Amino acid sequence: MGKAIGGFDVRETHGILGRAGLTVRTSSDGRGWTSLYASTQTEAPFEGHFDAVQDHLIVLHLGGPVIIDRAFGAGSERRLIPAGGLHMIPSGVGFDICLGGKLDTMHLYLRRSVLREVAAEMVPGDPDAVEFLPRFGDRDPQLERLILAVRDALDDEDPSTSLLVDYLARALAARLVRAHSSASQVRTEAASLANADNRRLARAIDFMTANIERSIDMAAIAGAAGQSVSHVVRLFRKGVGMAPHQYLIQMRLEHAERLLAETAMPIVEIAFACGFSHQEHLTRLFRRHRGTTPAAYRRARRS
C-alpha cells in the first residue's frame, strides 16, 4: 500500500483491523501522526494470512494467556502467551497467524524510516544493514512501558500530542535497535529456557483440551508436557497464575458455557461431555465460579 496523505493511517497496515469480529477501541486514524500508527482492540479468535507491509509491526497482549500459532518464512511455532507478551513482525515479511481465544491487544506500526534514522545514530556502519528481528511472545518491560505511553497518547486530544508521539517513536526505535535487532546481543540462555517452558505448558494445555471429557490426573498432564509433576505445577503457576487442576476446572466451565449457549444438549449430558462426574458436580462448581446455575445461565443467554 502507498503512503497515505495526512499521516500514517490504517490503510498502510496489514488489514488485521478490518476483520469481522474485531472491535477497535481507540486508534490514531485522523490524528496526523506520521512516525507510527497505533490502535487498541478486542480480537475474536481467528485464523488468517497477511501480506507484507513496508513498516514494522509490534503487537502487545493486554490480556491473556492465550495460545497463538504463527508462521512466516519456513518456520512455524505455537506458544501460550500471557499478558505483556510481544509479537514483532519486521517490514517486508508476510505471516500466518491463528488466535486461539478472545484477546485485548494493542497494535503499533513503526515507520521503517524512523528505525533507520535511529540506527544511523546508534550503530557504526550502514544503518540499512540493521535488521529488526521477529519476536514471538517475548517480554520486554521497557518496550512495554513505551508502548503503553503511546496508548495513553491515544486518549489525549491535545494537538501537541503528535510531537510527544514523535519522541516516543524514536525511543521505541532506540529500544528495538538495542534489544531486538541484528545489532543487539543474542537472546540470553534464560530467555531460551523461558521459551522452552512456554512450549511445555502449551503441550500440557493441548492435552487437557483434547481429553476434557475424561478424568485427567496430574501424572498424565506431566507426561504430556514431558516434565515432572512438580515442574508442571510451577509452569502453570508461572504461566497462567493458577494450579493445573484450577486451570482445568476453568476450561471445563468455559466448555460447559459454550454447550449451554449453543446447543440443546441436556445438562446432564453436558456435565459428562465436560468431564464432570455428574450433573450435581457441574452445578456446584458452576454456582461457585459463575454465581449462577447452568439452567439459569442457559435461560439468560437465550432470553
What are 40-73's pLDDT values in tens digits? 999 999 999 999 999 999 999 999 899 999 998 7
Residue 76 has pLDDT above 90, yes or no: no
pLDDT band at 193 (very low <50, low <70, confident <90, very high): low
Judge if 202 and 112 occupy the same domain.
no
H helix runs in 127-227, sequence order: 141-154, 161-179, 189-210, 218-225
Q: What confidence tens digit (pLDDT) does each residue in 197-242 have?
A: 888 999 999 999 999 999 999 999 999 999 999 999 999 988 888 8
Listed residues 186, 210, 243: the one ending a domain: 186
Q: What confidence tens digit (pLDDT) does each residue in 237-295 have?
A: 888 888 999 999 999 999 999 999 999 999 999 999 999 999 999 999 999 999 999 99
CATH code of residue 169:
2.60.120.10
What domain range is 238 assigned to? 190-302
Judge if 124 and 202 occupy the same domain.
no
Judge if 226 and 176 occupy the same domain.
no
CA distance 191 to 196: 9
pLDDT band at 195 (very low <50, low <70, confident <90, very high): confident
Judge if 22 and 171 occupy the same domain.
yes
In this structure, of 16-25, 74-83, 96-105, 136-145, the range with the lowest mean pLDDT score is 74-83
Q: Does any domain span residue 1?
A: no
Q: Which residue do the cell numbers 458452576 mark?
A: 286
CATH code of residue 290:
1.10.10.60
| Total domain count, the chain | 2
Residue 115 has pLDDT above 80, yes or no: yes
Judge if 53 and 172 occupy the same domain.
yes
Which among 109, 108, 115 has a CA at the least distance from the CA of 130? 115
What pLDDT sits at residue 188? 44
Judge if 158 and 231 occupy the same domain.
no
Q: Does any domain span residue 2?
A: no
Statement: the pTM of the whole predicted model exceeds 0.75: no
What pLDDT sits at residue 141? 93
pLDDT band at 186 (very low <50, low <70, confident <90, very high): very low
Cis peptide before 65 (omega within 30 of 0): yes
Judge if 199 and 169 occupy the same domain.
no
Judge if 56 and 160 occupy the same domain.
yes
Judge if 160 and 242 occupy the same domain.
no
- Edge-to-edge strand ranges of the sheet holding 95-99: 46-50, 95-99, 66-72, 75-81
Judge if 121 and 35 occupy the same domain.
yes
